[in-house]
Amino acid sequence: MSSSTPAASQDISIPPSVITLRRTAQLEALYTIIRDKTTSRGDFLFYSDRIIRLLVEEGLNHLPVVKKTIQTPTGATYEGLGFEGKICGVSILRAGEAMEAGLREVCRSVRIGKILIQRDEETTQPKLFYSKLPPDISKRYVLLLDPMLATGGSAMKAVEVIMEHGVPEERIIFINLISSPEGLQTFCKKYPALRVITGWIDDGLNEKAYIIPGLGDFGERRYCS
């Protein structure tokens, strides 16, 4: 990763549709571990999974609910809540697959789709190479999973694919570990009704469009280190 100074992000406002995890000392400690280049693969897996679990839990907080009345084992009536509709996950390959386990730990038997997007070397634009989505995805709320949001190109293409399958923009929640302010601005400008749950907003992008300070290539550190 380059150590070049990132573009000044202080002048870039964060869109109102972006929700971040509360910056506790524990959360910052977790991010410090996964950012450290000397962290072992085992520790990277363990601590990034902890953050992913927190992100998925926060994502579920933003799903609509309805009132639900149940009977408890004591015979009492309880006025509670239930989720309004069904959900599914969609991971952007390959790094997004790392977030699937965290979603399954929270939502039993959840359906998960996959989208593979890579840059077209001729046009430099993100190009869809593969997608497999639940057949009833248009009737579900979608949690879109990808650890890093840099320029936002892949995420915007993924949303485009999901919406082409009948999912309204406002029923998609994008979940990621680290975002750049520039990527958030671009992404949310195109999809203002879509909510973004991110664990941390970094300083910005360098001249190679790497997130700074970042944590390197998430997929490489997750699967290959």
Nearest to 88 by CA among 103, 78, 99: 103
Residue 94, preceding bond cis, omega within 30 degrees? yes
pLDDT digits (tens, 9 = 90+) for 114-130: 999 887 666 667 888 89
- pTM assigned to the model: 0.88
Is the confidence at residue 43, as pLDDT, over 50?
A: yes
**Would 191 be classed as within a structural domain?**
yes
Is the confidence at residue 11, as pLDDT, over 60?
A: no
**Would 88 be classed as within a structural domain?**
yes
**Would 5 be classed as within a structural domain?**
no
Number of structural domains found in the chain: 1
**Would 3 be classed as within a structural domain?**
no
**Would 9 be classed as within a structural domain?**
no
Residue 130 belongs to domain spanning? 18-223
Is the confidence at residue 5, as pLDDT, over 60?
A: no
**Would 28 be classed as within a structural domain?**
yes
What is the pLDDT, as a whole number, of residue 109? 85
Cα(224)–Cα(70) distance, integer angstroms: 48
Nearest to 159 by CA among 123, 122, 196, 124: 196
**Would 4 be classed as within a structural domain?**
no
What is the pLDDT, as a whole number, of residue 13? 79
